[in-house]
Amino acid sequence: MPTERLRNVRGIVFDLDGTLVLGDRRNHGLTPLPGALDVTAALTARGLPWLTFTNGTTRTPEAYAETLRGLGFDLPDDAMLTPATSAVDHFLATGCRSVVVLGGEGLKEPLRNAGIEVVAPKGKPKADAVLVGWYREFTMDDLEAACHAVFAGATLYSSSQSVFFASAEGRALGTSRAICAMISSVTGVTEHIVGKPSMIALRCAAGRLRVAPEELAVVGDDPELEMVMARDAGALAIAVTTGIHPPDSYTALPPAQRPHLTLDSVGKLVGLLPTAV
């Protein structure tokens, strides 16, 4: 039974938008969702490690963590992950040392801090990779530079291929997928995802929690992100319906892709958690 399996998990990965908080279309003005503070506090009190992984890149992981602490979450910097976090892990592991970044400081700063060169999207840049994130300032000059980098051998990476993310105003359009679609159309190259639902992201989270991927529970509001990632890794998939996807989004999925548990609030996890680990 899923509830029995939950009592045996060794770490929990939470989505952010639509799961723990809601903000505006620019991912600002974050407000905790009902039960979010209670369940994360209960996990900390019971000694069950948890972290948050958002596909957002408007802030650095440390800035996200600071914002969440201001809302009442007991969250250290190293328990807040973004695609920049998993990108750094992946780039260092694969020998990637220079990256053209289409995004803001939320993407650039973690790369620089890891000793990876951030190359400006100007002219005909040479780099090992192109990394796309939240970037509403995107221009045709950026597109041309990114395409030239890919033509010269750079690997294309996307922070997220989701069309939408959850906000207090409803569905908000992301940027990574749209930008990557243009680059792919011109170059014929398919992007690699470093955020959810990739195994790059899941392995990064599991490594931070120091548990095997199959020992995780992944909690989120998107059947195409957290549920896919959890199922692919053999982890426990827990859906909440507080984001942009109604309950029938999950029941309509093939059995092998459905969440193991579906809750109408993340706070409902409190009564299902083990008393101690």
Specify the CATH number for the domain of residue 66. 3.40.50.1000
Q: Are 87 and 157 in contact (CB under 8 A)?
A: yes
Tens of pLDDT, residue by residue, the chain (277 residues):
677 788 889 999 999 999 999 876 565 678 999 999 999 999 999 999 999 999 999 999 999 999 999 999 999 999 999 999 999 999 999 999 999 999 999 999 999 999 999 999 999 999 999 999 999 999 999 999 999 999 999 999 999 988 767 566 667 778 999 999 999 999 999 999 999 999 999 999 999 999 999 999 999 999 889 999 999 999 999 999 998 778 888 888 888 889 999 999 999 998 887 665 5
Helix axis angle for 199-209 and 226-233, nearest 10°, is 70
Query: Domain ends where: 193, 209, 243?
Result: 193
Same domain, 77 and 200: yes
Same domain, 64 and 117: no
pLDDT at residue number 243? 84
Q: Is residue 277 part of a domain?
A: no
* H helix or E strand, kind and range, residue 157: strand 155-158
Query: Domain ends where: 193, 226, 261?
Result: 193
Same domain, 185 and 101: yes
Same domain, 101 and 177: yes
Range of the domain at 159: 84-193
Same domain, 143 and 155: yes
pLDDT at residue number 253? 85
Same domain, 214 and 243: yes
Query: Domain ends where: 164, 193, 222?
Result: 193
Q: Is residue 70 part of a domain?
A: yes
> How distant, in Å, are the alpha carbons of 78, 157, 174, 202, 214 from that of 10?
17, 30, 32, 14, 9
Cα 15–19–20 angle (5° rounding)? Answer: 90
Q: How many domains does the chain have?
A: 2
CA-to-CA distance for 31 and 37, rounded, in angstroms? 11
